[in-house]
Structure 1
Amino acid sequence: MPITHIHLLEGRSVEQKQELIQNVSKAITDTLGVAPEQVRVLLMEIPKENWGTGGVTKAQLDQ
């Protein structure tokens, strides 16, 4: 059973996340030859104040 973890910044719509899960699941089923029911996709949404690059948070960059 393939399990995929995806970390992304919060703020995407429900529809975008559903499409992401669908597309990632299809890529895994096509590549590994497993049934869609075997695929797990876990989205981990990170608040912008908890995401930093170069010593600055994404929340600070957005200001």
Structure 2
Amino acid sequence: MPIVTVKMLEGRSDDQKKALAAKVTDAVVETTGATPDKVSIIIEEMKKTDYAVGGVRVSDQ
């Protein structure tokens, strides 16, 4: 049972997250041979204040 976690900054619409889950599921099915009902997708959204690149929070850029 493949489980995929996607971490991204908040701000995507529900439609974008639905499309992401569908396409990631398709990719996992194609590459692993798992059936779609066995593929789990977890989308974790982060606030821009909780993520930094190069020592600078994204919210401060």
Q: TM-score, structure 1 length as denominator? A: 0.93
Question: How far 1:12 sits from its partner (Å)?
Answer: 0.5
Structure 2: which amino acid aligns with 1:36? P
Unaligned runs of at least 5 residues, structure 1? none
Structure 2: which amino acid aligns with 1:20? L
Question: How far 1:4 sits from its partner (Å)?
Answer: 0.3
In structure 2, the partner of 1:56 is 56
Aligned residues: 61
Task: Determine if the alignment matches structure 1 residue 27 to structure 2 residue 27.
Answer: yes
Question: How far 1:8 sits from its partner (Å)?
Answer: 0.3
Identity %: 36
Unaligned runs of at least 5 residues, structure 2? none
Distance 1:26 1:54 in 2: 33
Question: How far 1:26 sits from its partner (Å)?
Answer: 0.2
Task: Determine if the alignment matches structure 1 residue 17 to structure 2 residue 17.
Answer: yes
Q: Deviations over 1:14-59 (max 9, x none)?
A: 1001000000000000111111000000001000000001111111
